[in-house]
Amino acid sequence: MKLSHLVLALLLLLPLPASAAVKVVATLPSLAAIAREVGGADATVESMLPPNIDPHFADAKPSLVVTLSRADLLVENGLELEIGWLPALVLQSRNAKLAQGANGRFDASTVVRRLEVPRGAVDRAQGDVHPGGNPHFLYDPRAAAAVARALATRLAAIDPTHAAGYQSRAAAMATELESFGRAQTAAFAALPAANRAVVTYHRSLIYLCDWLGLTSPISVEPRPGVAPNPAHVAKVLAQLKTLPKRVILQEEFYPTSTTSTLARLGSATLISIEGGTRFDKGKRYIDHLRAISAPILAALSR
Ligand SMILES: [Zn+2]
């Protein structure tokens, strides 16, 4: 037995503090924020990643194995977004509650409408394409509302005593998200149609564009997960110059050397998109969406 396993085995023998709250661990801060709102006082919630880390290639801390070993429920994004780092940690946690298909494992992607589901086999030459569809649905309040409702049902199954509380908090959250979503869709729809085109960095913003009625004629990455090359950047610049409102959207964890050059050469506005809810700062998921949509609307309205 390796020393780390021994330490873990000993930790598991320690009595846990008596508490009725369901222990939820979410992979991403936006999922954690949704779980905190639905769980209320009946759940404790931790996020495995901070918001400014690229969830495709996260360097997840080994200390999370202990957190996972004590969890009652693991909430993951799914669609292979966390495939590079989550499976090994779950395996090491030896927590049977979190096994695939168990009540303690919640895959948010199973309850949302998926975009960019590839037809036929996925070819590595297409870049970092996720075979089940594009996994970046947490930029859409309609998807988050569906996640909140389904999460309440799951929490109620794990902790039936507090079922009514989970359901009513989720219903309130989903209603608020859907009405906010509709109001933003309407505000963007009021812009001239030609203004509603933006350049994005990675194909991670398609759900955001779908929600706000934006088109993204070109991405700075030539293929998902593939770094920009000079020939493609020239193409992006040419396309950018055709747009009436020149806006580049990029999540905060991607490198900005190419995009800041594009912004300078194309006289464009580079908008940094929050990669996730500032869960660690006590922010709500809707705060995250507001922080994203407000500067885009302002830039396209100018
Ligand atoms: Zn991606």
Q: Distance, CA 224 to ligand 1 centroid (Å)?
A: 6
Decide yes or no: CATH 3.40.250.10 for domain 183-301.
no
Q: Distance, CA 82 to ligand 1 centroid (Å)?
A: 10
Q: What pLDDT is attached to residue 15? A: 41
Q: Distance, CA 85 to ligand 1 centroid (Å)?
A: 15
| Per-residue confidence band for 221, with pLDDT thresholds at 50, 70 and 90 | very high
Distance of alpha carbon 256 from alpha carbon 229, whole angstroms: 14
Q: What pLDDT is attached to residue 8? A: 56
Q: Distance, CA 24 to ligand 1 centroid (Å)?
A: 25
Question: Higher confidence at residue 75 or residue 123?
Answer: 75
| Per-residue confidence band for 20, with pLDDT thresholds at 50, 70 and 90 | confident
Core vs surface per residue 131-150: b (16+ CB within 10 A) or e: ebbbbbbbbbbbbbbbbbbb
Question: Each residue of 149-165: pLDDT tens digit?
Answer: 999 999 999 999 999 99
HEC string of 129-198 equals: CCCCCECCHHHCHHHHHHHHHHHHHHHHHHCHHHHHHHHHHHHHHHHHHHHHHHHHHHHHHCCCHHHCEC
> CATH topology for 3-178?
Rossmann fold (3.40.50)
Extents of the domains making up the chain: 3-178, 183-301
Is 183-301 the same fold as 3-178?
A: yes
Q: Which long-range contacts (CB under 8 A, 24 or more apart) does 257-263 make?
A: 258/220, 258/228, 258/233, 259/201, 259/220, 261/233, 262/199, 262/220, 262/233, 262/236, 262/237
Q: Distance, CA 128 to ligand 1 centroid (Å)?
A: 7
Please give the model's pTM, rounded to 2 decimal places: 0.90
Q: Distance, CA 276 to ligand 1 centroid (Å)?
A: 14
Q: Distance, CA 281 to ligand 1 centroid (Å)?
A: 25
Q: Distance, CA 209 to ligand 1 centroid (Å)?
A: 15
Q: What pLDDT is attached to residue 129? A: 72
Distance of alpha carbon 247 from alpha carbon 269, whole angstroms: 5
